[in-house]
A and B are shown apart, each in its own frame.
Chain A
Amino acid sequence: MKIKVLFFGKLGEIMGKREMNLDRFATTKDLKDFLLDEFPSLNYHKFIVAVNQEVTRKEAELREGDEVAFLPPYAGG
């Protein structure tokens, strides 16, 4: 069971890649905990999480095929 994880802006450089396919985590918190553990420098960067293009401020359940994006502060316009 897989989810797609995307890293934008500065985070893509920190992670060494912009996209990862990972085995499904039950929630966004589980995914975050895993990533912060595997890539400790992530702890020093601000980001929000979007699931299927909707920003989630609280812990969200993840399903097979979900797309989770890690978004640093926007800088458009």
Chain B
Amino acid sequence: MKTNSSTHDFFIGGRITSSLIAKEITHHGNKNDIGAHAIFLGQVRADEIDKKKVKEIIYSAYHPMAENKLEKIRNEAIKRFKLKCVHIYHSEGAVAAGEISLFVFVSSAHRKKSFKALHSVVEKIKETVPIWKNEIFSDGTKRWLDEQSLQK
């Protein structure tokens, strides 16, 4: 059984707040070798299916495996894109429509690497991290999201 040796907490209970996002931005203000940050925010979309609107999404994860994967994504991105910093925050539990459930923040000396790294990290999170979404509709019905039900 793997132990989580990461010093970074990836999971946030509930939505990701704008104060967390602001805190992260401010926190990097004194790093002199950073010239660019690229930030991604994933928001819960208020999808409408058969006249029912999504009220919230409940996120669940296979924790030890998800944390190992996120740490791996982070370390590989730092190496590959020569990043100064990578922060990843993913919600677990309920997040209401319109709220933020994913926050990825990468920093580099110059902007080219930040743009590329952000795209790579976000795609890898979606492809390789064991996290699931249960959509809750306004009428109380539920639907598990998977590749079949997702529309790009």
Interface residues of A (CB under 8 A from B): 6, 8-10, 13, 46, 50, 52-53, 67, 69, 71-77
Q: How far is the CA of A52 from the CA of B145 in the complex (A)?
A: 25
Whether B60 sits at the interface, judged by CB under 8 Å, is yes
The answer to whether A77 and B147 touch across the interface, beta carbons within 8 angstroms, is no
A48 to chain B, nearest CB (A): 9
Interface residues of B (CB under 8 A from A): 1-2, 42, 59-62, 64-66, 68, 90, 102, 122, 125-134, 144-147, 150
Q: How far is the CA of A76 from the CA of B73 in the complex (A)?
A: 14
A contact residues around B61 at 8 Å (CB) = 76
A contact residues around B62 at 8 Å (CB) = 6, 8, 50, 53, 69, 71
Within 8 Å by CB of A8, from B127, B130, B145, lies B130
B contact residues around A67 at 8 Å (CB) = 1
User: Which of B90, B128, B132 has its CB near the most chain A CB atoms (within 10 A)?
Assistant: B132
